[in-house]
Structure 1
Amino acid sequence: MIRAITTFGYVGLLRPAPGTWGSVAALALGVVMDGWLGFPALLVATIAVTALGFWACAQALRDRPGEDPSEIVIDEVAGQWLALLFPAAAFFFGPGKDAFLPWPAWVGAFVMFRLFDIWKPWLVGRADRRHDAAGVMLDDLWAGVFAGVTVILGGILWHAVLFS
């Protein structure tokens, strides 16, 4: 069961680039969840998958300190959903809530999350260098925060230029 959780239903076994496959699966599920069930469901799911991810990674890596196996993608799911929460919250609390997030918001969240997850600047890299189970989750959560903030700033800039 731990392997099913850490690989997000075995998506992490897909090759090449299991982290990208995990992010794609998380993105698809997150956009559908937000569209059908709304922002509160995405928020609860993000909190749940994050808690489950910390627990499952600790269990899976208990006898393998310092490892971050590529098939573990529950961290990408948590980070990708965290990145999606930013535009989802903006549309939920802002005027004109659409049934589904408009494509620039979720494409931006995906691209920026993958960029920060691969590039690993500042706090993302610091978390990655922990070399423990918590670090496996934390680097992707920081990447999700940076991606979410970038998408919101990009949206503000786009609308400020477009509608000024």
Structure 2
Amino acid sequence: MKWLASVAGVGFLKPAPGTWGSFAALPLAYLIHQAGGFWLLLTATIIAFVAGLKATETVTRTGDHDPSWVVIDEVVGQWIALFPISYGAAMMGVDIVRLWPGWIAAFVMFRLFDIWKPWLVSWADRRGDALGVMLDDVIAGLFAAIVVIALAALAHGVLM
């Protein structure tokens, strides 16, 4: 379970293991998208959430409710932040790499919301349990995805 919770040891990289976890999520999302598009990424995210919840419950039973090396939650949140890019690429029939500004925005916005912990993100974080560990990143990912959609709309003249 420690292997899963740390995403194959990525969580032990220093400094900023959460940022390393988010960064590790990017090539994984690319590979998943290439293998099966948005729907496979969505399915993988759900599976990673359930497996991550179980792993986090297991590794936090005896101590710290949110060890810094647990980064499976960052992977799940980062994948959610990438949903608009994956969906957009699939719908438009373009290579997901062509949407590189969206990748940067998704990464930066997810890290911002995960670190800043506004509103619902901080509510989930305060739960003090494994579900809270996972949920705060899910919510941060949703907030980041909303910003990515708004930035894409702005960039494409929809909000002009």
Matches within 5 A, 1:29-48: 29-48=28-47
Question: Runs of at least 4 residues of structure 1 off by over 6 A?
Answer: none
Partner of 2:59: 60
The reply on whether 1:100 has 2:96 as its aligned counterpart is yes
Displacement of 1:46 in angstroms is 0.7
List aligned pairs for 1:152-163, cutoff 5 A: 152-160=149-157
Q: Gaps spanning 5+ residues in structure 1: where?
A: none
Deviation by residue 1:116-143 (Cα, 9 ceiling, x = unmatched): 0000000001111111111110100000
Measured against aligned partners, the alpha-carbon deviations of 1:12-67 in whole angstroms (never above 9, x if no partner) come to 00001000000000012112321343112111111110111111111111222x62
Match of 2:74 among 67, 73, 76: 76
1:109 deviation in Å?
Answer: 0.7
Instruction: Tell me, in whole angstroms, the C-alpha distance in 1 between the residues paired with 2:10 and 2:111.
Output: 16
Alignment partner, residue 125 of structure 2:
128
Q: Any conservation in 1 of the 2:85–2:96 contact (CA below 8 Å)?
A: no
TM-score using structure 1 length: 0.91
**Is residue 32–residue 100 contact of structure 1 (8 Å, CA) maintained in 2?**
no
1:119 aligns with 2:116: yes
Q: Among residues 67, 85, 88, which one is paired with 2:86 in the alignment?
A: 88
CA RMSD of aligned residues (A): 1.6
For 1:58 and 1:161, locate their aligned partners in 2 and report how far apart those are by CA, in whole Å. 43
Deviation at 1:161, TM superposition (A): 6.6
Aligned residue for 1:38, secondary structure, equals: helix
Counterpart-to-counterpart distance in 2, 1:87 and 1:152: 9
Query: Could you say which residue in structure 1 is the equivalent of 2:137?
Result: 140
- 2:12 is the counterpart of 1:13: yes
Aligned letter for 1:10? G
The letter for the 1-side match of 2:151 is G
Distance in 1 separating the partners of 2:78 and 2:121: 14
Identity of aligned residues (%): 50
Amino acid at match of 2:109: M
Instruction: Tell me how far apart the structure 2 counterparts of residues 31 and 83 of structure 1 sit (CA, whole Å).
Output: 13
Give the SS at the match of 1:9.
coil
Length, aligned pairs only: 159
TM-score, normalisation: structure 2: 0.93
**Structure-2 change in CA distance of 1:55 and 1:5 (3 Å):** same
Report the AA paired with residue 74 of structure 1. I
Q: Take 1:16 and 1:112, find their aligned partners in 2: how far apart are those partners?
A: 19
In the other structure, the counterpart of 1:150 is: 147
